[in-house]
Structure 1
């Protein structure tokens, strides 16, 4: 009995070989699982996984047929409408730009004409020759105000200034304050009647020749030429100032002509011309406009 049990106990004490092989198997399975998961993730990221799956059913010819195009007439009408709309917008914009350009050109022509009139007035007041300004006056204003233009040009050929009129009046003062000896009876009677009428209206001091000459000087300085001429004509020796009176009237006439030219440059509706000789038919922004419903418009209609 002892011999049999002794050999049976030795194999039980040796290490079991199956435990190591089982661990290696589990480790290999884990590595394979991880590799498979990584492969699936890579295929999904690349899009290959969808290709490996079931494919959708093939589409029929009816499904792949594109939508029918619109009728040719409708497409043509839509295109024409779009083109016509764009052309209408372009024409409207061009017409507005043309109107604005025409208005700007007209206003520029009026402004230039007004500057020419101002330059002519300045030269006239200084007694200087007009030079090229006379050509501009003829070009711009001759069609609208020929008499005023000719008056300014004629006066510039023989100019007279306010200072010159005042100096000449001062030089004529001794002759204007005395009665001329060669006056006729009618002239003396007329002066006497005029003096009597003035004495009744004014005091003796205001009606004296010296006072009249002083007032004439003041009127000249204020450019009230009519009043200055009136004072000189009431003096006893007014006949000695005939040339002075004629020059003063010429100066007054040229001032009125210049006023007319300036007004023409601002308000003339049709006959004013620009620097190229073209008519300035653009309405002036300074021209008065009748309000709606004005009686004059109703009468004109």
Structure 2
């Protein structure tokens, strides 16, 4: 009886264990399928699986020889001679790079020289402007005189000397106008006649007895000439003002005024010359350190080529 019961119990236990195993496997399969579906829906599956390109790369890496980058080349590789064509190409590439470097360096040097030359010309022009402002105000040049000597003495020595000499005894436009106004009675013959000589008084009396009428008599009268001279002074046309004063009958009384006016005209011309030199002088202009400015001015017109000059017109 015991054998029959044990046999029955063993026969009933085995089917139960098998069903439980099958059920567990089925549950695991369902969970795995659900996990794969979830990973594919969220894009995680593509990152986990290798791509064909990666497989090919890894296969090529495995098939090819592995070289150590730290391993020095063998003696055979070092001693392998290069062909003449390879040597010439290497030399040509090096020469080409050197030529490019030299060209860049030369262009940088040219640009540096151009900038330095233009800066020196601009500084010289500012010095000339400062000298003109001080001359017009009747002020001493002080440090500007040293700058004029340093920059322009080699190019325009006479102009520099004229400006410095005038600054030691300056004359302004306002002073010339005031002095001309004070000389008006003597220049027009309406001043004190007691200081005139006997001949001048006699000539004046005889001249007053006869009157010659002309169409332009009002324009050539001493008063009209002095008025034009004052207008010329205001317009800084000093040469025309001097000519009008010299045509007045009593011009001898204005000798000192004429000399000072001519000095003022000369210094203005000298200042104009220095400004032109600062802009256009090609060789003899100096910079702040006394070095020559070799760079031509950008305002200067380029010289005509011989072929263009020899070509006939028309």
Pairwise same-fold verdict (TM > 0.5):
yes
> 2:171 is matched with which residue?
160
Question: For residues 16 and 278 of structure 1, do their structure 2 counterparts lie closer, same or farther at Cα, with a shift above 3 Å needed?
Answer: closer
Question: For residues 251 and 184 of structure 1, do their structure 2 counterparts lie closer, same or farther at Cα, with a shift above 3 Å needed?
Answer: farther
Q: Secondary structure at the match of 1:264?
A: helix
Pairing 1:1-301 to 2, within 5 Å after superposition: 18=11, 20-25=13-18, 27=20, 72-73=82-83, 80-178=91-189, 181-182=196-197, 203-289=216-302, 295-296=308-309
Q: Secondary structure at the match of 1:235?
A: coil
> Which sections of structure 1, spanning at least 5 residues, go unmatched?
1-10, 39-44, 46-58
Provide the C-alpha distance between the structure 2 equivalents of 1:297 and 1:241, rounded to a whole number of angstroms: 55
> 2:71 is matched with which residue?
none
Provide the C-alpha distance between the structure 2 equivalents of 1:161 and 1:227, rounded to a whole number of angstroms: 17
Question: For residues 30 and 145 of structure 1, do their structure 2 counterparts lie closer, same or farther at Cα, with a shift above 3 Å needed?
Answer: same
Deviation at 1:284, TM superposition (A): 0.6
Provide the C-alpha distance between the structure 2 equivalents of 1:284 and 1:100, rounded to a whole number of angstroms: 13
Question: For residues 182 and 289 of structure 1, do their structure 2 counterparts lie closer, same or farther at Cα, with a shift above 3 Å needed?
Answer: farther
Larger Rg: 1
Provide the C-alpha distance between the structure 2 equivalents of 1:143 and 1:184, rounded to a whole number of angstroms: 54
Aligned length: 254
Question: Which has the higher mean CA deviation after the structures are superposed, 163-172 or 175-184?
Answer: 175-184
> 1:42 is matched with which residue?
none
Moved over 6 A (4+): 14-17, 29-35, 291-294
1:244-281 CA-to-partner distances (Å, cap 9, x unmatched) read: 11111111111001000000000001110001000011
Aligned-residue Cα RMSD (Å) equals 4.0
Provide the C-alpha distance between the structure 2 equivalents of 1:27 and 1:133, rounded to a whole number of angstroms: 114
> Which sections of structure 2, spanning at least 5 residues, go unmatched?
33-47, 49-61, 68-75
Deviation at 1:28, TM superposition (A): 5.3
Question: For residues 298 and 232 of structure 1, do their structure 2 counterparts lie closer, same or farther at Cα, with a shift above 3 Å needed?
Answer: same
Question: For residues 236 and 64 of structure 1, do their structure 2 counterparts lie closer, same or farther at Cα, with a shift above 3 Å needed?
Answer: closer
